[in-house]
A and B are shown apart, each in its own frame.
Chain A
Amino acid sequence: AQKVTQAQTEISVVEKEDVTLDCVYETRDTTYYLFWYKQPPSGELVFLIRRNSFDEQNEISGRYSWNFQKSTSSFNFTITASQVVDSAVYFCALLRNYQLIWGAGTKLIIKP
């Protein structure tokens, strides 16, 4: 079965704290693609990152970093020095056969 689990329903931190959003996936495929999207209150889904299953290098983009570990089927997302503008719902998704399989999302609240 293909499945994405985001166990954290809601996380609340104070601005400037670091925060990690967890994503665990299940798939029997050897080739697959993982994504993170951000959905701010405006509603638009904003693409953040795409990772291929054969590329386990971690990625850093400014304050954002992603840790992909095939051994634990996890693709976690860390925001360093969080800011109020980071407040949003974050979705992890698995692409298989052109369909995105979505996690339930984690609502991140950054308090000033």
Chain B
Amino acid sequence: EAGVAQSPRYKIIEKRQSVAFWCNPISGHATLYWYQQILGQGPKLLIQFQNNGVVDDSQLPKDRFSAERLKGVDSTLKIQPAKLEDSAVYLCASSRDLGSGASTDTQYFGPGTRLTVL
């Protein structure tokens, strides 16, 4: 079974530029998560989708970050405009969670995208 796919693996941009990350979850997984991981810290949840609906985006800086999962499969996370403090690894995860309500299934992570903002 293929794991969670992410691209690109690395990205370097100037501040105020825009950037987009792509994620394809494990086949059949209904729930998709985007995390931000700053060096030396644990991951921080940015947004959670179940199918193509948003479950939680309370920690997403909506003035500059946006995410979509239009067909309930792959997803895109965008930052526009980027700031220096956005330098981090952006991790995508997915879990099976076919039912509604709180997700309790194990989250499986992709390789991440390492973003450097200069």
Residues of A within 8 A of B (CB): 33, 35, 37, 42-47, 50, 91, 93, 95, 97-100, 102-105
Contacts and interface: CB of A to CB of B under 8 A. Distances in A.
Nearest first, the 4 closest Cβ-Cβ pairs linking A and B are A102-B42, A98-B103, A45-B109, A44-B111
Contacts of A43: 89, 111-112, 114
B102 interface: yes
Number of contact residues on B: which range applies? Answer: 20 to 34
A10 to B, nearest CB: 11
Interface string B7-50: 00000000000000000000000010000000011110100100
A46 to B, nearest CB: 8
Nearest to A97: B102
Interface string B61-104: 00000000000000000000000000001010100010000111
Given A47-B108, A98-B104, A104 B43 contact: no
A95 to B, nearest CB: 7
Contacts of A97: 102
Contact of A95 (B41, B104, B110): B104
Contact of A104 (B41, B45, B107): B41
Contact of B56 (A47, A99, A102): A99
23 contacts: A33-B104, A42-B111, A43-B89, A43-B111, A43-B112, A43-B114, A44-B109, A45-B112, A46-B109, A47-B106, A47-B107, A50-B106, A93-B42, A98-B31, A98-B48, A98-B97, A98-B102, A100-B107, A102-B42, A104-B42, A105-B40, A105-B41, A105-B42
Given A99-B56, A105-B40, A105-B41, 13 more contacts: A43-B112, A44-B111, A45-B93, A45-B112, A47-B107, A50-B106, A91-B42, A95-B104, A98-B102, A98-B103, A100-B107, A104-B42, A105-B42
